[in-house]
Amino acid sequence: MVQVKDKFTVCRHSPYRYDVVGSFLRPEILKEARERFAKQQISLGQLTKVEDQTIIDLINKEESAGLKAITDGEFRRSWYHLDFFWGLQGVKKIQTNGWQLHDGTHARGEGAALDGELGGNNHPFIDHFRFVKDHVSRGFEVKQTIPSPALLLAQLELPFNLESTKTFYSNEDDLIKAIAAAYDQVLADFFKAGLKVVQFDDSAWSSLIAAKLVDHPTAKPLEFTSKKFEELKSKYLKVNNLAIEGAPKGLVVNAHICRGNYRSNWAFTGSYAGIANPLFIQEKVNAFYLEYDTVRDGGFEVLKQIPKDKWVVLGLVTSKDGHLEKADKIVKRIYEASQYFDLDHLCLSPQCGFASSEEGNVLTEKQQWDKISLIRSIAAKIWLN
């Protein structure tokens, strides 16, 4: 029996009852400008002018849609993660074979590797944040999304990166400390610029969701011995918590446990059960944004392991296609989740961003905003009356 309260806690910062993960579909004018810039047909200044205007337009749309946490849609990025890595000292852009998706196809082949010691000074994302802060209306929050420290660790320990990584950090513990220190410099600069809430987008943990446990080590990327599996969980937790512990006091850190979306495709699927301990129990974040848009994602029982003082944002509305979900079905699933985690600490969002890379998912901008409108109306029925 679901116990529905007369009054619910008022959310003073992210997550809000109806929320978004962060990225939005790029307008065609922006896609064209980025393509022309890549071909050296326009200058960086001309590209920036297009980025500025499309971000201002997006901010107006977000505010009109009733969103309380405003993002720049990641319009200045090509990827949800790599652009941030490339902005750190000691990190260079490399070409790769692209990470593999569930159907065997590969994403665009770009990556990051070390070419020096890590540092977080003068990160370009600070100015990106300032621009949004300068253009939101009074009373709106600016939410900054960045990839998690664990995801950088995972990137730097990919087989083709090990040699360059060990050139600068022969000891893994030193690498973990360096990642956390670089992040803490960036977070300190964000906080000084006025940031209140940051979201770690973390597909490192989700890679373990799809793990296959084997008796002996193999060369296959998602096959691990039990010992290796536990080691990965331990170090992902360690590097994330180390960065969070060193962040400015008063900065809210949330986490989106991303399953690796690319052009409406995905990389990892399965239940969160295998990573719930230690992720849900020990990671020192304020909230978890969790992807639950398909039956492949497992049940809600695992939510019982999340401490009661944290928040859970249910990603029940898919961002991978334009089909508009039935409101009553989403409401039913929220109440199902509330059997395992307090309804007062639940929120609703799309399962992921609408464009984890600049290519975007396969839906229209209208369908994107229709989904946000649906989420808002459902949240109003459950929590805001």
Instruction: Find the mean pLDDT for residues 49-70.
Output: 99
The radius of gyration of the chain's CA atoms, rounded to the nearest angstrom, is 20
Helices 124-135 and 44-64 pack at an angle, to 10 degrees, of: 50
- 115-146 pLDDT per residue, tens: 999 999 999 999 999 999 999 999 999 999 99
Q: How far apart are CA 337 and CA 312, in angstroms?
A: 10
At a CB cut-off of 8 Å and minimum separation 6, what does 149 contact? Answer: 179, 180, 183, 200, 239, 240, 242, 243
Question: Do the Cβ atoms of 42 and 33 come closer than 8 Å?
Answer: yes
What is the pTM (predicted TM-score) of this model?
0.95
Alpha-carbon distance of 274 to 224, in angstroms, equals 13
**Whole-number Å distance between alpha carbons of 58 and 44:** 21
With the C-alpha atoms ordered 66, 67, 72, 77, is the resulting torsion angle positive or negative?
A: negative
Q: What is the pLDDT of residues 325-378, one digit of tens each?
A: 999 999 999 999 999 999 999 999 999 999 999 888 889 999 999 999 999 999
Query: Are the C-beta atoms of residues 375 and 349 closer than 8 Å to each other?
Result: yes
Q: Which domains does the chain have, with CATH numbers?
A: 28-384 (3.20.20.210)
- For 245-290, the pLDDT digits (tens) are 999 999 999 999 998 776 666 667 789 999 999 999 999 999 999 9
